A = this chain, B = another copy of it.
Amino acid sequence: MPQGALTGTSAQVKGWLVDIDDVRPRPTMRDVAALAGVSLKTVSRVVNSEAGVSPELEGKVKAAALQLDYQPNLTASNLRRSDGRSRSIGLLLENVANPFSGALHRAIEEVARKRDVLVLAASLDEDEARERELARALVSRRVDGLIIMPVADDQSYLLTERRTGTPMVFVDRPPSHLDADTVLAGNSDGAQVAVEHLIEQGHRRIAYLGDDGWISTAVERHEGYVTALRQSGLTYDAAIVRHGLRTSESAFTALNEILTQPNPPTAVFASQNFVTIGACQSLHMLGLHHSVALVGFDEIATSDMVEPALTLVVQDIEGMGTKAAELLFSRIDGEDNVSQRCVFPTRLVVRGSGEIPGPYRVGLN
């Protein structure tokens, strides 16, 4: 996010404005009925395309609605309507400005769009209190369902809501103390594959750079790292493992320290996109980007343009978002089978940074 000089200059524009005297209250169904000379109910029928209105009255109502530029109040119709649908869903993300959240949001929007449903999205910033506050704010607006990428370690605050029948789906991280549909990535497997890949390239000393240790995805990715080491008989050395890295800056600093230690690693596994960026910057700064291997978790838009191009474990974000939305809407439609749990496998995309050979590399190529 660039923070350029915020010297915004304001200027008045054009001479004309909508006349103040011209400000009109928004027309209601009653106004349309009066103008068309029919009853409220007839307007309601036409607006909702219900059958059984004579072409003549239908014409009058449509003309009146057009003349007044009548826009039905969905919120009011909702109140009495039996299904009580607001035609909007709530989406709680890590941060709408981050690429993972953005891609997830988009996939969900795409499914919602086909059903004329709008998305209320908000950012949690790893703040547990915000998760509860925003969930409550969405419920008070009577959204038709909730898709949550949770941060709190306890979702039991949603128990009443769940019992009330509000559809909800969790994405990226599972809920705790609450049973609900969940869509996850194969974090542990993905990390294991990444680290095994580095081991195959001849590395024995591989650093781990990870996000906050209490985030489930970070825990699982760390597990994958540990499993890969163990299965190859390598020892775990806490001196080249770092948790709690939230920004590229902190990852940059952490890797700088690790690489200038005695007995530095010959390869690095970065558990998340910002961490990968910081790690890459560190390698560039130390001039080690062609000698120390790097594999990261999460796609990065410009991974091709980096020198060397980044080998990354990528998630099927679009698939996950689509699945989460589909699960939610099937619940909204009344599906009430047992909670589903979907795990989307990740994919290792080989591009160069992860194929820098290690000291124990054997075989050809």
Question: Are B98 and A102 in contact, with the CB atoms below 8 A?
Answer: yes
> Beyond A299-B2, A344-B6, is A23–B304 a contact (Cβ under 8 Å)?
no
Chain B residue nearest to A336 (CB atoms) is B20
Could you tell me which residues of chain A, from 94 to 136, have a CB within 8 Å of some CB in chain B?
Answer: 95-99, 101-103, 105-106, 109, 113, 116, 118-123, 134, 136
Interface-located stretch among A146-154, A156-164, A208-216, A221-229: A156-164
> Beyond A121-B121, A122-B109, A165-B23, is A316–B3 a contact (Cβ under 8 Å)?
yes
Minimum CB–CB distance from A287 to chain B (whole Å) comes to 13
Q: How far is the CA of A349 from the CA of B97 in the complex (A)?
A: 21
Interface-located stretch among A8-16, A34-42, A237-245: A8-16
> Beyond A18-B163, A96-B96, A305-B281, is A4–B344 a contact (Cβ under 8 Å)?
yes
Question: Is A263 engaged at the interface, CB distance under 8 Å to the other chain?
Answer: no
Q: How far is the CA of A346 from the CA of B7 in the complex (A)?
A: 10
Interface-located stretch among A73-81, A253-261, A356-364: A73-81
Question: Is A51 engaged at the interface, CB distance under 8 Å to the other chain?
Answer: no
Question: Are B99 and A99 in contact, with the CB atoms below 8 A?
Answer: yes
Question: Is A86 engaged at the interface, CB distance under 8 Å to the other chain?
Answer: yes
Question: Is A62 engaged at the interface, CB distance under 8 Å to the other chain?
Answer: no
Residue-by-residue, is A276-316 near B (CB-CB < 8 Å gives 1, otherwise 0)? 01001100100000000000000111111111000000111
Residue-by-residue, is A75-95 near B (CB-CB < 8 Å gives 1, otherwise 0)? 110110000001110000001
Question: Is A340 engaged at the interface, CB distance under 8 Å to the other chain?
Answer: yes
> Beyond A118-B120, A302-B300, is A22–B347 a contact (Cβ under 8 Å)?
no
Question: Is A319 engaged at the interface, CB distance under 8 Å to the other chain?
Answer: yes
Q: How far is the CA of A341 from the CA of B323 in the complex (A)?
A: 42
Question: Are B140 and A72 in contact, with the CB atoms below 8 A?
Answer: yes
Interface-centre pick from A1, A72, A103, A307 (highest chain B CB count, 10 A):
A1
Question: Are B26 and A141 in contact, with the CB atoms below 8 A?
Answer: no
Question: Is A234 engaged at the interface, CB distance under 8 Å to the other chain?
Answer: no
> Beyond A106-B97, A139-B71, is A8–B306 a contact (Cβ under 8 Å)?
no
Question: Is A48 engaged at the interface, CB distance under 8 Å to the other chain?
Answer: no
Question: Are A142 and B75 in contact, with the CB atoms below 8 A?
Answer: yes
Question: Are B277 and A11 in contact, with the CB atoms below 8 A?
Answer: no
Question: Are B88 and A26 in contact, with the CB atoms below 8 A?
Answer: no
Question: Is A55 engaged at the interface, CB distance under 8 Å to the other chain?
Answer: no
Choose from B95, B137, B142 the contact partner of A106 (Cβ within 8 Å).
B95
Question: Are A96 and B106 in contact, with the CB atoms below 8 A?
Answer: yes
Interface-centre pick from A11, A23, A136, A305 (highest chain B CB count, 10 A):
A305
Question: Are A141 and B118 in contact, with the CB atoms below 8 A?
Answer: yes
Question: Are B75 and A2 in contact, with the CB atoms below 8 A?
Answer: no
Q: How far is the CA of A346 from the CA of B163 in the complex (A)?
A: 52
Q: How far is the CA of A5 from the CA of B138 in the complex (A)?
A: 33
Question: Is A53 engaged at the interface, CB distance under 8 Å to the other chain?
Answer: no
Question: Is A25 engaged at the interface, CB distance under 8 Å to the other chain?
Answer: yes
Question: Are B5 and A316 in contact, with the CB atoms below 8 A?
Answer: yes
- Of the A-B pairs whose beta carbons lie under 8 Å apart in the complex, a sample of 19, sorted by A's number, is A1-B103, A1-B299, A2-B299, A2-B316, A5-B347, A6-B319, A9-B342, A9-B343, A10-B340, A10-B342, A14-B179, A17-B338, A23-B163, A74-B141, A75-B141, A75-B142, A76-B79, A97-B99, A118-B120
6 smallest CB-CB distances across A and B, nearest first, come from A2-B314, A97-B106, A307-B307, A4-B316, A69-B160, A4-B347
